[in-house]
Structure 1
Amino acid sequence: MSYKFTQQSNSARSVILQKLKKQVEGADYDKLPAETGFTYPEISFEDQFTHFVQLLRNNQAKVISTSETELMDQVISELKARDISSLLYGADSPYSQLIEQGINQSGEQVELQDYDYQLTDNKDKLFNHTPASITSSNWAIAETGTIVRWPSQNEPRTMSLVPPVHMIIVDANKLYCNFSSLVKDQNWKDNMPTNALLISGPSKTADIQQTLAFGAHGPKELIVFVMNSPTDINL
């Protein structure tokens, strides 16, 4: 039965393609107007950064300007404000030492959980006993207010998809004007990731009566810690 279905599907597709080809037979493409390339306007880095932050905030993300010396004090402050005493992190991630030192020196009762387990055997632990996570990021996109993550073995994609509170560290020096410039500059055509996450805010859906709701199928909160913010911009 499945074979017949495949044969019918292929036949229907062939018919459709033949009809489309027939419609354009004899078309003179030289009469089409010449296409002009689009050139993005020159925008200062400060304006790009301001736009990036504003779009994130429009999408209900909390954006905090920080530095390496201030980061963990601000992280702990956000955890305390939500009465959270457990934080998931990657032990070999770019900021792991900073996170570990900050928690140890703070004197606060915050348990660091290293994501060193398989999801299949720890679903209850991850979905029911992991209130918050903190991850690094790779780049950011000003045009759409988007943070780009390439999940790794140390920081798998689950870290930013499951915990109710997702904290993410962004380096403003890695901000691109638009997605096209990021892909070109980072040579994605020859270095495509197996998985890329584009994050623009907490999870949201409008499936129910077309009413936009945040935090429906993932993090209810996104907290963005931005390092190397332009000094003349007050967040």
Structure 2
Amino acid sequence: MSARNAILKRLRERLDGPLSAPESDFSVVTGRGWSQEERLARFERWITSVHGEVVHASHDDWTRPLAEVLAERGVRRLALGREHPVAAEAREALADAGVELVEVDRDIEGWQQEQFERVDAGLTSTLGAIAETGSLWLWPTPDEPRLISLVPPLHIAVLDADTVEETFFDVVERHGWANGMPTNALLISGPSKTADIEQTLAYGVHGPRELVVIVRHAGTAPGEA
């Protein structure tokens, strides 16, 4: 019997009975009561306050603003997956846009230098967002490895408007993180930033200098006729 199992055995066989988890009051970290519109507005306010940019689009036409973002920033090489619907739709829309689409499902040792030196932007899907903190949450996969959101100078994330939750607790509970959390779960609350001893913020030192969130709406996006 291992030392770990021996300790657990002694705990289970305590004379005064097994240990039980204390009752906890989670009301302070959930139950904000915000509507879906309020959640999205709060998310946008927080993420733009730290230099994130939000672009609204309809679900059926989101690749048009994607192409505009790439053109405005002079992106020539875009890293993205293949299998996820977001990546598949982007590939189809950008086939004749003059942007080189960089494959990402390969061993990092084989293209590490290329990724750090010659990729202009990375495109990823998201699983949702958190209104209270203005954060995106992503679960990386071989098709969308975490480095395409952490290394290129520009990260473009696609978020469905109806997937914004109120708090981090709501995300963890509603999506069953306790039963199936991946090796890496990413919470992204803006472009990379750091500060020196004088508290002067610098962006892009340890990751993307820019974050653009394309929010897809089921109907007509705000501002569209």
TM-score (norm 1): 0.78
Letter in 1 for 2:35: S
My pick for the range that moved more, 168-177 or 76-85, is: 76-85
Matched length: 199
Offset of residue 68 of structure 1: 3.6
| TM superposition outliers: structure 1 runs of 4+ over 6 Å | none
Counterpart in 2 of 1:176?
165
**CA distance change for structure 1 residues 109 and 189 in 2, over 3 Å: closer, same or farther?**
same
Q: Say whether 1:121 aligns with 2:128.
A: no
**CA distance change for structure 1 residues 108 and 69 in 2, over 3 Å: closer, same or farther?**
same
Quick one: which of 139, 142, 145 aligns to 1:156?
145
Counterpart in 2 of 1:205?
194
Offset of residue 101 of structure 1: 1.2
Letter in 1 for 2:136: I
Letter in 1 for 2:44: V
Offset of residue 143 of structure 1: 0.6
5+ residue gaps, structure 2: 1-24
Quick one: which of 156, 179, 187 aligns to 2:176?
187
Q: C-alpha offsets along residues 115-145 of structure 1, whole Å, 9 cap, x if unaligned?
A: 1321112221000010111000111111101
Q: Say whether 1:75 aligns with 2:82.
A: no
Offset of residue 231 of structure 1: 5.8
Please give the secondary structure, in 2, of the residue aligned with 1:127.
helix
5+ residue gaps, structure 1: 1-34
RMSD: 2.1
Q: Which of structures 1 and 2 has the bigger CA Rg?
A: 1
Q: Say whether 1:141 aligns with 2:126.
A: no
Question: How far apart, CA to CA, are the structure 1 residues paired with 2:110 and 2:32?
Answer: 50
Q: C-alpha offsets along residues 22-59 of structure 1, whole Å, 9 cap, x if unaligned?
A: xxxxxxxxxxxxx8953634222211110111111101
Q: Answer whether contact 1:62 1:223 (CA < 8 A) is retained.
A: yes
**CA distance change for structure 1 residues 116 and 189 in 2, over 3 Å: closer, same or farther?**
closer
Counterpart in 1 of 2:185?
196
Q: Answer whether contact 2:57 2:221 (CA < 8 A) is retained.
A: no
**CA distance change for structure 1 residues 234 and 157 in 2, over 3 Å: closer, same or farther?**
same
% identical equivalent positions: 36
Counterpart in 1 of 2:49?
58
Q: Answer whether contact 1:46 1:233 (CA < 8 A) is retained.
A: no
Question: How far apart, CA to CA, are the structure 1 residues paired with 2:74 and 2:183?
Answer: 36
My pick for the range that moved more, 69-78 or 181-190, is: 69-78
**CA distance change for structure 1 residues 116 and 231 in 2, over 3 Å: closer, same or farther?**
closer
TM-score (norm 2): 0.82
